[in-house]
Structure 1
Amino acid sequence: MKGVHQFGVKGKLAPRYVGPFKITEQCGPVAYRLELPPHLVAVHDVFHVSQLKKCLQVLEEVVDTTQIQIQPDLTYEEKPIKVLDQKRRSTRQRTINFYKVQWSNHSEEEATWEQEEFLQTKYPSFLPSTSNEYK
């Protein structure tokens, strides 16, 4: 389902992390137990070291779990924030408008190109009133 991402994973090359969380104990040579907040009770609290990243307080790479509403299936819905660019592609029958959209909890570098039809259907009040604004 488009617009819904599990902990912000949006494509192969866009890893996201939630946290930071305190390490409470080392369970083995490569496993650590984390102190998770109550709203992540469905997530197992022991992680392999390859799934962890040292917290350097790089805000672009960390999703703040207090500002997003994580649903019981551990997903959250992102909302479009801003249109950064627009382009048109012509086929034999019609012209399709695309918008470069910045999403909530993502930086401008992670903006995606979305079809106008999708944005009008899912977020009807988001698009600008005239399509000539971003030419």
Structure 2
Amino acid sequence: MDLPPLSFHASLGKEEPEEIETFLKVVPPAYHQYLDVFSKVKAEKLPTHCACDHHINLQVLLPPVGVIYSISNDGSETLRTYISGNLEKVFIKPSSSSTEAPVLFVKSKDEGLCLWVDYHKLNAVTRKKRYPVPPMNQLLTVFNGFHYLFQHRSAWCM
């Protein structure tokens, strides 16, 4: 049996040997070179972020309209855990926006609480950027013969 590349074992260094063996058994040998995708350690990290600010332009700033609901102790604890965990991983950042998205909790199959963020209110006050889209036949003419396309202005550095 071919062993996966060294980067796989290096990336899984903090994981249990049983998990590595499970990966080797479950994933077909043809895909062992991609085993690092299943690493829990790598899943906790995002790609390097470029130094650029992203702003969501809002329509006229109005005071929030809606009912404020109280959260149960379980919901409050779940929310605190979610926010602190994702702030540590840098999956989320503190916001300076004057608009918020309501947070709801749904019972999960294991009787725990699942966090659900309702972005409908935020989307309702976001100023949409609309650009004219060229006709499809014009796009096909322009991109005919291209082998590789890339996004020039990306939020993430490669």
Q: Structure 1-normalised TM-score? A: 0.26
- Of the two structures, which has the highest relative contact order with CA contacts closer than 8 Å and spacing of 6 or more? 2
**Greater Rg over alpha carbons, structure:** 2
Q: Structure 2-normalised TM-score? A: 0.24
